[in-house]
Amino acid sequence: MSLKSNLLVLVMVIGGLGSAPLMAEAQIGNVRGLPPLMKVEGTVYCTADGNIGNIDLAYPIPFFTDARVEILGFLFGRALPPSVTDDSGSFSMYFRSTSLSSVLTDSTIMVSTPLSNCNSTLPSTGFLSSTLEYNGTVVEDGNTIMTLVPKRFRFSPSP
């Protein structure tokens, strides 16, 4: 009886050790050798700098809808398809990268749609841009995803 118990324990230990690397790999979103999955998400507001600023409930800040949002920078020379903000000014883009630090250091979010598209009193030339910051890791549909968000949009006039 004790030989069977010892054998069962040995099989369970070996099985557990064999699955540990797979569990660790899944926890960082690395599926079948692919780089980790990253998601850039944010909201663009219809203001002079695209940020929400001070909230005044008497004057709600409108969202910047139908604005083209792009990621520029370190993505192994690949251009990602742009995203377009929805009715709540929100956007999201997914991609894979082996280097979170390089993405944070070398990538920029750019809103290329003129601000005048959401408010005719705002500039009709120029663009909004922001660096990215890490906002944590989430699990969506069984995938572990590193979430990145814009730090703070800034307006740049066109040359």
Q: Domain limits at 25?
A: 1-30
Judged by DSSP in three states, 66 sits in coil
Residues 72, 4, single domain; the answer is no
pLDDT band for position 28 (50/70/90)? very low
Q: Where are the alpha helices (DSSP H) in the chain?
A: 2-27, 100-106
How confident is the model over 73-90, as a mean pLDDT? 83
β-pairing, 83-84 vs 127-140, is unpaired
Q: Is a pLDDT exceeding 60 seen at residue 16?
A: no
Residues 114, 139, single domain; the answer is yes
Domain count for the chain, please give it: 2
Residues 61, 2, single domain; the answer is no
Write down the pLDDT at residue 46: 94
pLDDT band for position 29 (50/70/90)? very low
Q: Return the percentage of the chain with pLDDT > 70, whole number.
A: 72
Cα 111 from Cα 71, distance rounded (Å): 9
